[in-house]
Structure 1
Amino acid sequence: MVSPVPPVTIGPYTIDPPVVLAPMAGITNVAFRRLCREYGAGLYVCEMITARAVVERDPKTRHMMTFDEDESPRSMQLYGVDPATMAEAVKIIIGEGLADHVDTNWGCPVAKVCRRGGGAALPYKRKLFANIIAATVAAAQPHGVPVTAKFRVGIDDEHHTYLDAGRIAEAEGAAAVALHARTAAQRYSGQADWDHVTRLKETVTTIPVLGNGDIFTSADALAMMAKTGCDGVVVGRGCLGRPWLFGELQAAFRGEPVPAGPNLGEVARVLRRHAELLVEHDGPDKGLRDLRKHMAWYFMGFPVGSPLRRQLSMISTLPELDALLAQLDQDAPFPTAGEGPRGRQGSPGKVTLPYGWLDDPDDPSVPFAADVMHSGG
């Protein structure tokens, strides 16, 4: 048993336990967030929203910005590369009462984003990064809406940007920072280097520092906090197919016994609940198509045969799902193989940048066409 972990304060909000659901494109919609919230408290961030799409009032983007009535604070992650566009998006979001907290994304390692100077490439441009944080904070702060920043260690091992990014975000009024302890070149491969979280915590001293990377169990979260001294944790891929992880984290952070992992019958009930929530949000066609990608995560390590796994990954109706779930061995215990890495991993690779990008880190120019739709990091 460990001592309770103190809450973290982000602007006017007390996050207890200090656990954040990382925004994940195509994952952390209102359905998945509700499912996770049913297990434990924390801060649950919606999937990343592109600032330009907010300003252009894209209908699909507005649908992604859906929150439950009882969701508080309503946390939204914004991606952008232009100070003016970010500020305008925040004014729309606040003016229309759409969110209570704005996180900013500087962690995306996707090639089509970095090659245009967006995502994890952008903090290398220190003045541009400062201008964007300053403009976002200026638009949000008068209304009591905190702005935070999530970023990576840097572009690659030769170009670390996180300490500058942390200092700049702190100086420009961010309410907290979070570090995914990998470079863009690592993508999601290998291991996160938690020593970087330690160094960021030593550098940023007046606002909370949150750690992200390789948190797959409650023990991982406690280990990161003990090793780095960070103020809280951000959980991404570790909760894929495991929304109950937030209940385990809540227990561990409160110094209580961590509940045992669910058996296969309980996993089936959780998956069925997820299906209902997705259908409610997106309708049966899109909702159940969306559910398919979660199947392998839910059943990871369980004794589910290949034919049944294949059928589950192709479901299109709730009755069909019910019939397949009934074929599972309801009493199969939670497997130790159900812990550990899940979701995107892939291989490291060279980060392609715009021509001359590394020449002048103090160039404040806005990169051209970098605010495209993409997945977060």
Structure 2
Amino acid sequence: MGGVTAPLTAVARPLQIGPYRCDTPVVLAPMAGITNPGFRRLCREQGAGFYVCEMITSRGLVERNPLTSRMIAFDADEHPRSLQLYGVDPATVGAAVRAIAEGDLADHVDLNFGCPVPKVTRRGGGAALPYKRRLFERIVRAAVDNAGQIPVTVKMRIGIDHEHRTHLDAGRIAADAGVAAVALHARTAAQRYSGTADWSEISRLRDALPAELPVLGNGDIFSAADALAMVAETGCDGVVVGRGCLGRPWLFGDLEAAFAGRPAPTPPTLGQVAVTLRRHAELLGDHMGPDKGIRDVRKHIAWYLKGFAVGSETRRRLGLVENLDELDELLATLDHEQEFPAEAEGPRGRQGSPGRVVLPERWLDDPDDPSVPFGAELEYSGG
């Protein structure tokens, strides 16, 4: 289960996704409103890994929606360029992947079958979709068949809930369709982000699939020790990190050292955290423009300062900061020598509560029904 500690020693092979190899078997999970080019660059500056952009809708890409086009943005030195794609209609997904390949828009496509939010599952998308085994197979094959030399991977959950587990069947179907890797968030859609991830299901998936196909584990990776523990316990080939890096992009440096068998880097002081936060704001400004960038960084501030002794008034003012000069003034007032606190460790980001998964009407009646839900993609013509 998540949260188990382990000695920081190398325990995994390099991660190979299609033609792309990384000695650090770590993937940054796509997160809406988070994994934009600025944040990805900040993480890449800390350590090696595969860094995936925010989720793109297949319909938006095919329709050349302006918002979608702006979201498909990579730094000139970003390689491989990893793009996550969402879709419910095999024809649309296939057309989107073909456009990516023909337009040289990305080097790697990851298919999203893990999103648990109601606006996605009520249309049969995200974590709801693998229950429809034939529809899932049609989508994955459409992506692989249209990708050319671009590797296609799949990210999914255990299932809709504990009564409707789908990951083993879905993993086998994806493997047969020719994907380059499979990632499992070891929670059900009903759990959302609550409770703890069941790492034993990652072990079951690893055992069920061909040894040469990389299986990645996701869920409750909040430290390098968590990552090594997951690999040691489950036999997975690498880890996918999401909420654990919020407000702590240096986690990727910790992970790189851990998987290489090097000593753990010294945790940052508050002054060093302030420097990283300032760098984050600067990168967001470069990507979004200064006004939007400074507004966007506000949501990260509580994550960066978690556990540190920072007064409530300073936190409030930082949460309302208007420009880089004001940010610099406020960061200068912090106790830069303050050591990284134990309270900053552990879970961060959204957790919430488990809940009923909203599904299309009669969705559970026939898992072999390959038809696309009526109107499944109509509301997803944006990014």
Partner AA of 2:168 in structure 1: L
Once residues 22 and 115 of structure 1 are traced to their aligned partners in structure 2, the CA distance between those partners, rounded to angstroms, is 23
1:44 alignment counterpart: 51
Counterpart of 2:232 (choices 206, 226, 230) is: 226
SS in 2 for 1:78: strand
2:219 match: 213
User: How far apart, in 1, do the equivalents of 2:58 and 2:280 lie?
Assistant: 28
Task: Report SS of the residue matched to 1:294.
Answer: helix
- Segments of structure 1 that go 5 or more residues without pairing to the other structure are none
User: Alignment partner of 1:290: what SS?
Assistant: helix
Q: Which residue does the alignment assign to 1:362?
A: 368
> Partners of 1:364 and 1:28 in 2: how far apart?
32
In structure 2, the residue matched to 1:256 is: 262
Superposition pairs of residues 76-91 of structure 1, within 5 angstroms: 76-91=83-98
Which residue identity lines up with residue 234 of structure 1 in the other structure? V
TM-score, normalised via structure 1 length: 0.97
Amino acid at match of 1:23: P
Give the deviation of 1:216 after TM superposition.
0.2
Contact kept, 8 Å, 2:36 with 2:53, in 1: the verdict is: yes
Partner of 2:63 in structure 1? 56
1:160–1:4 distance in 2 versus 1, CA, 3 Å:
closer
Counterpart of 1:193 in structure 2 is: 198
Aligned residue for 1:122? 129
CA distance in 1, matches of 2:351, 2:46: 26
Q: Distance in 2 between matches of 1:190 and 1:162?
A: 19
Of the structure 1 ranges 114-123 and 269-278, higher mean CA displacement relative to structure 2 is found in 114-123
Determine if contact 1:113/1:374 at 8 Å carries over to the other structure: no
Q: Give the letter for the 1:240 counterpart.
A: L
Q: Distance in 2 between matches of 1:229 and 1:82?
A: 33
* Correspondence for 1:71: 78
Task: Write the deviation string for residues 248-274 of structure 1: whole angstroms up to 9, x where unpaired.
Answer: 000000000010210000000000000
Question: Could you tell which deviates more after superposition, 111-120 or 147-156?
Answer: 111-120
Q: 1:163 — aligned with what?
A: 168
Match of 1:332 in 2: 338
Aligned-pair Cα RMSD in Å: 1.4
SS in structure 2 of the partner of residue 293 of structure 1: helix
The residue number in structure 1 matching 2:248 is 242
3-state SS, counterpart of residue 289 of structure 2: helix
Question: Does structure 1 conserve the Cα–Cα contact (< 8 Å) formed by 2:65 and 2:382?
Answer: no
Secondary structure of 1:219's aligned partner: helix
Return the offset for 1:373.
4.4
2-side partners of 1:281 and 1:113: how far apart? Answer: 27
Percent of matched pairs sharing the same residue:
67
User: 1:344 aligns to what SS in structure 2?
Assistant: coil
What is the rounded CA distance, in whole Å, between the counterparts of 2:17 and 2:260 in structure 1?
A: 19
Q: How many pairs align?
A: 374
Q: Aligned residue for 2:3?
A: none
1:173 lines up with 2:178 in the alignment? yes
1:303 aligns with 2:309: yes
Instruction: Show structure 1 runs of 4+ deviating over 6 A.
Output: none
CA contact (8 A) 1:127 1:364 kept: yes
Aligned mates of 1:79, 1:339 — CA distance in 2: 32
SS in structure 1 of the partner of residue 226 of structure 2 = helix
User: Letter of the aligned partner of 2:172 in structure 1?
Assistant: R
Match of 2:157 in 1: 152
1:63 Cα offset (Å): 1.2
Which TM-score applies when normalising by structure 2?
0.96
Letter in 2 for 1:53: G
Asked if the contact 2:109/2:152 (under 8 Å) is kept, the reply is yes
Q: Distance in 1 between matches of 2:293 and 2:263?
A: 35
For 2:19 and 2:83, the matched residues in 1 are separated by: 16
Q: 2: CA distance between counterparts of 1:115 and 1:92?
A: 27
Query: What are the superposed Cα offsets for residues 29-68 of structure 1, whole Å, 9 maximum, x if unpaired?
Result: 0000000000111100001111100011111111111101
Q: CA deviation at 1:5?
A: 2.7
In 2, are the aligned partners of 1:264 and 1:331 still within 8 Å (CA)?
Answer: yes
Give 3-state SS (helix, strand or coil) of 1:77's partner.
strand
Q: CA deviation at 1:96?
A: 1.4
Q: Which amino acid aligns with 1:110?
A: V
User: CA offset at residue 369 of structure 1?
Assistant: 3.1
CA deviation map 1:95-124 (0-9, x unaligned): 111100000000011012112211100000
Aligned to 2:141: 134
Task: Render the CA deviation track for 1:322-344: whole Å, top value 9, x for unaligned.
Answer: 11111111011001111111111
